């Protein structure tokens, strides 16, 4: 039943008609519980509140699969403006972005140009930028661009998804560039030809990736709400004498709030992934696919005033 539910919401995430409907009716369907608003300005008070609670943040202007050069440049400008706002308001926040929103599917030169504009601004204010990972068809291009940019920009991270067969090899290939990696299970619908289908293999692979990157001495963000994965990370750190300063836990805004606070009390660094923007629909559906219990957010949104 859980697999059916996951496939159902992943199917919905790609429905263009429902996407247009969602943009029209906004947060009424529960999205305001896991999205910080439609503009960065709306997200600022939330970031400030999270910071006061001892939580770090990474913001993501939602949107992907852009097929217009004009729109790609607009998304680039929005990202730069968010960097300026972070600096101006002295927010404890990084920036996350998707390469398809900056023109990956249009032209490689375009996405490289846009990334360099963003990274130059982020470098001025010592703000880290993380390239989110998208579906498997874009994984190779994303990592290639990351490696090229990492040669010049140290304030750059990316993501490895444990459900892909290729991920362990990708992690080892990145070792020489001292990567900052966010390690996650993955949230796109993928074929069994490229990805593990069952949860057991996905979890085992994530543990391998966590241990390898930590033991290799690289800064690691563990993007998981799974208590077992959190406990495993702590165990690996103790066994190998890895300091708390070398890793952090990352969780989505609106989820596992108490766990986030408990980890902070224990002295661990916790970063909250806070998305914002009008294009929240695909993101929201993938979160429902990851955890069916999240459907309660939508139901509450429909029937509440």
Place of tokens 């607009």: 74
User: How far, rounded to the nearest angstrom, does the alpha carbon of residue 128 sit from its chain's CA centroid?
Assistant: 13
**CA separation for the pair 160, 282 (Å, rounded):** 20
Residue 26 in contact with residue 38, Cβ under 8 Å?
Answer: yes
Residue 93 in contact with residue 130, Cβ under 8 Å?
Answer: no
**CA separation for the pair 119, 121 (Å, rounded):** 5
**CA separation for the pair 233, 218 (Å, rounded):** 14
| Catalytic-residue membership of 182 | yes
Q: Which of 60, 75, 105, 132 is catalytic?
A: 132
| Catalytic-residue membership of 132 | yes
| SS3 category, 177 | helix
The size of the chain, in residues, is: 305
Q: Kindly write down the DSSP assignment for every residue of 29-47, as one continuous string.
A: GTGGGT---SSHHHHHHHH
Instruction: Collect all residues with Cβ–Cβ distance below 8 Å to 40 and sequence separation of at least 6.
Output: 59, 61, 78, 81, 82, 85, 276
Count other Cβ atoms within 10 Å, centred on residue 265: 9
Q: Which of 182, 256, 286, 287 is catalytic?
A: 182
**CA separation for the pair 74, 92 (Å, rounded):** 24
| SS3 category, 97 | strand
Instruction: Collect all residues with Cβ–Cβ distance below 8 Å to 253 and sequence separation of at least 6.
Output: 34, 35, 36, 46, 50, 272, 273, 274, 275
Residue 210 in contact with residue 183, Cβ under 8 Å?
Answer: yes
Catalytic machinery residues: 132, 182
């Amino acid at each position: 039943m859980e697999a059916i539910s996951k496939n159902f919401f992943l199917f919905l995430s790609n429905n263009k008609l429902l996407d247009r409907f969602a943009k029209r009716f906004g947060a009424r369907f529960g999205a305001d519980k896991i999205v910080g608003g439609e503009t960065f300005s709306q997200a600022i008070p939330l970031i400030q509140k999270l910071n006061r609670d001892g939580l770090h943040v990474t913001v993501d202007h939602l949107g992907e699969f852009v097929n217009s050069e004009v729109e790609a440049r607009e998304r680039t400008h929005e990202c730069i403006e968010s960097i300026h706002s972070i600096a101006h308001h002295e927010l404890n926040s990084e920036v996350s972005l998707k390469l398809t929103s900056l023109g990956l599917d249009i032209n490689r030169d375009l996405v490289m140009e846009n990334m360099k504009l963003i990274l130059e601004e982020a470098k001025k204010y010592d703000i880290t930028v993380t390239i989110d990972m998208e579906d498997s068809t874009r994984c190779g291009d994303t990592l290639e661009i990351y490696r090229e940019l990492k040669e010049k920009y140290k304030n750059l991270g990316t993501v490895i998804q444990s459900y892909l067969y290729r991920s362990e090899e990708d992690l080892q290939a990145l070792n020489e560039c001292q990567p900052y990696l966010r390690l996650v299970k993955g949230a796109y619908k993928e074929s069994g030809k490229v990805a593990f289908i069952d949860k057991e293999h996905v979890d085992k692979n994530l543990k391998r990736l966590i241990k390898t990157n930590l033991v290799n001495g690289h800064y690691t963000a563990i993007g998981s709400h799974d208590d077992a994965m959190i406990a495993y990370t702590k165990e690996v750190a103790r066994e190998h004498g890895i300091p708390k300063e070398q890793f952090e836990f990352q969780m989505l805004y609106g989820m596992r709030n108490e766990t986030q606070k408990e980890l902070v009390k224990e002295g661990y660094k916790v970063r909250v992934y806070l998305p914002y923007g009008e294009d929240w629909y695909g993101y929201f559906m993938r979160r429902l696919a990851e955890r069916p219990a999240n459907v309660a957010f939508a139901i509450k949104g429909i029937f509440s005033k």
